[in-house]
Chain A
Amino acid sequence: MGNNGFSMNVIVCVKQIPDPASPGALDPSTNTLKRDGKLILDESDSYGVEMALQLVDAAGGGEVSLISMAPNGEVSGMRTALAMGASKGVLISDPALLGSDALTTAKVLAAAVQRIGGADLIIAATESSDGYTGTVPEQLAEVLGMASVTFAKKVTITGGTLEAHRQTEEGYDEVTCPLPAVISVTAGVVEPRYPSFKGIMAAKSKPVEQVTAADLGVSPVGWAGSGQGVVAVTQAEARAAGEIIEDDGESFTKIVAFLENLKVI
């Protein structure tokens, strides 16, 4: 038992995405994002993993589990989170899931949460860096019938109650919520640790159970379960490039002239 006398089990939803440094592309046959190369842990999710580790630490007991949905049995992004300190993971990898919409994703993740046996807290990023639909955390909460706090930028837990600062358009709200709960956390909420060499070695032997949608009893999935279809893909009108100059110490006069010309100064 730790300071709070409260053991915490936390599940973090992590997405493994194509490296954002390489340009994205659509698969012309399916009009879905191409995810055929090596996948990495979405940086947005590293904040949730870090927060989970800190909360379990503060509670003095419990563990961090990961759930992820990815094609081709991809686990390299999950290994990064395991190397940070998560204990185990469930990977839902199934060709039938191709084309799944956010709602189906939430149903699949909810079933994975139940397979792990639930948790005191489920953490997700506010949105992924590749698809950025931004609805899965709150959909997951609804599928599980749980309370939620979205867009949390500061989180503390005291005796089974979560207190959070929730980002709003105008500032932030202070919110309290009894556990269990689902939260989505903004980037920058905590400083993610770098995996240590020891952590990286240990991660290789941590258990990741691979399951299919059928194993979880979720159907229909993939295209069949998604009430949407791509109708057209078009190139947006390109913006004409303007004048590019090297600063010679006097380039500020160009800016002044530009602003004068627009009559804004």
Chain B
Amino acid sequence: MALNNIWVFAQVANGAPTTFTLELLTKARTLGGTVSAFVGGDGAAVAGVLGEYGATTVYATGDLAGKLPGVAVSAAMKAVIDGGAAPELIMFPQSYEGRDVLSRLSVKLDRTVLTNNVDIAVDGASVNVTTPVFGGNVLVTTGFTGSGPHLAAFRPKSFAAESAGGGAAGVVAAPVPDLGVAGGATVTAVHVEETSGPKLDEANIVVSGGRGLGEAAKYEMVEQLAKLLKGAPGASRAIVDAGWVPYSYQVGQTGKVVKPSVYIAAGISGATQHMVGMKGSKNIIAINKDKEAPIFGIADLGIVGDVHKVLPKLIEALQARA
């Protein structure tokens, strides 16, 4: 018995479903049964793309009116489930919003959650998900033991997004019920941090800096190198926590997952937290003073040296070629 009904929590950015959402839809359609997307917002505008990637139905809450998605979308999902259209599985992106909706819904349904997954398999009635632990050295496969809906969140880039060539999905209104005091939080302003060049999680080349840079001002070398290589600058958690660069630069378990052709780690020792976010890169170059640094264990080219000496020469050499 395969699954009959699967939902994917669909996220929309700049008017289009995120790539992350399309990755989950692509995987969902291999698991059997009908796939539906659940959108916190307007459904009509995205029903075409969601349908193309495998959704036959789009449940849409309509405008959230400033309510945070966690409390609002989970309440709308619960209402549809109570109305008799319960799926066996709901797949969430491991994103800020995905996590919040998943968390609230788990309490409403009294169901466990399995997060940080990179794979899922359905075997008869059992649904198993796989999570990397200890920096990805060990994979743990866990099964849901209770009854559905099973709730699982997946890390970005766990699956490749591929169009199914399907037609537009049908839109079903799934309004947000009265939230009471739980819905007290209201968004009053939205700020988008300006970035130039390719996006960190889509760039072909990523250059990241870490604590080995010594001080915030030296991060400029990382930006300069990234620009020369037409790549994106990234960062370890250590220098984000230190306030050198914004959180949106963070690569790692709690930041972005990147899988570029080339990843250059400058002054990064390779904490588990960081490696989880970049070890899928095709080629890894590491520059670090400490030859025992864990990053050298996964580097294709490792330079044991001072970033303050190596980077300026590298930048100069690349400038000379330009």
Q: Which residues of A contact B (CB under 8 A)?
A: 23-24, 26, 31, 101-103, 106, 126-127, 129, 132-139, 141-143, 145-151, 153, 166-178, 181, 186-188, 226-236, 238-239, 241-247, 249, 251-256, 258-259, 262, 264-265
Pairwise interchain contact B261-A228, C-beta atoms closer than 8 A: no
Pairwise interchain contact A167-B188, C-beta atoms closer than 8 A: no
Does B240 touch A at the CB level, under 8 Å?
yes
Pairwise interchain contact A233-B305, C-beta atoms closer than 8 A: no
B interface secondary structure, majority: mixed
Give B57 Cβ to nearest chain A Cβ, in Å. 25
A264 to B310, CA, bound (A): 19
Pairwise interchain contact B241-A187, C-beta atoms closer than 8 A: yes
Does B82 touch A at the CB level, under 8 Å?
no
Pairwise interchain contact A145-B182, C-beta atoms closer than 8 A: yes
21 contacts between A and B (CB under 8 A): A26-B138, A132-B116, A135-B115, A139-B107, A142-B182, A148-B68, A149-B68, A150-B70, A172-B193, A176-B186, A188-B242, A233-B141, A236-B136, A238-B137, A244-B296, A247-B305, A251-B303, A252-B317, A254-B303, A255-B264, A259-B229
Pairwise interchain contact B139-A255, C-beta atoms closer than 8 A: no
A227 to B150, CA, bound (A): 9
Known: A142-B107, A252-B317. A150 touches B100 (CB 8 A): yes
Contacts of A102 in B (CB 8 A): 106, 112-113, 115
| A-B contacts besides A228-B143, A235-B139, 9 pairs, CB < 8 Å | A138-B99, A149-B68, A170-B193, A171-B248, A231-B128, A249-B313, A255-B310, A258-B285, A264-B204
Give A212 Cβ to nearest chain B Cβ, in Å. 22
Known: A135-B102, A181-B185, A236-B138. A243 touches B310 (CB 8 A): no
Does B274 touch A at the CB level, under 8 Å?
no
Pairwise interchain contact B190-A173, C-beta atoms closer than 8 A: yes
Pairwise interchain contact A148-B96, C-beta atoms closer than 8 A: no
A175 to B70, CA, bound (A): 14
A230 to B141, CA, bound (A): 6
Quick one: closest B residue to A247, CB to CB? B305
A interface secondary structure, majority: mixed
Number of interface residues of B (CB under 8 A): 92
**Chain B 301-319 residues near chain A, CB threshold 8 A:** 301-306, 309-310, 313-314, 317-318
Contacts of A264 in B (CB 8 A): 204-205, 229, 261-262
Does B218 touch A at the CB level, under 8 Å?
no
Does B243 touch A at the CB level, under 8 Å?
yes
Pairwise interchain contact A242-B302, C-beta atoms closer than 8 A: yes
Q: Which residues of B contact A (CB under 8 A)?
A: 13, 68, 70-71, 74, 94-96, 99-100, 102-104, 106-108, 110-116, 128, 132-134, 136-146, 180-193, 204-205, 229, 237, 240-243, 247-248, 253-254, 261-262, 264, 273, 279, 283-285, 287, 291, 296-306, 309-310, 313-314, 317-318, 321
Quick one: closest B residue to A250, CB to CB? B313
Known: A149-B68, A236-B136, A246-B305. A262 touches B262 (CB 8 A): yes
Contacts of A187 in B (CB 8 A): 237, 241
Known: A139-B103, A151-B96, A264-B262. A235 touches B138 (CB 8 A): yes
Pairwise interchain contact A153-B180, C-beta atoms closer than 8 A: no
Contacts of A253 in B (CB 8 A): 317
Contact of A143 (CB < 8 Å), options: B107, B128, B303: B107
Contacts of B183 in A (CB 8 A): 147
Contacts of B301 in A (CB 8 A): 242-243, 245, 254-255, 258
Pairwise interchain contact B184-A228, C-beta atoms closer than 8 A: no
Pairwise interchain contact B111-A178, C-beta atoms closer than 8 A: no
A253 to B262, CA, bound (A): 16
Contacts of A166 in B (CB 8 A): 68, 187
Give A28 Cβ to nearest chain B Cβ, in Å. 12
A234 to B136, CA, bound (A): 11
A259 to B32, CA, bound (A): 43
Contacts of B95 in A (CB 8 A): 169
Pairwise interchain contact A229-B310, C-beta atoms closer than 8 A: no
A150 to B191, CA, bound (A): 16
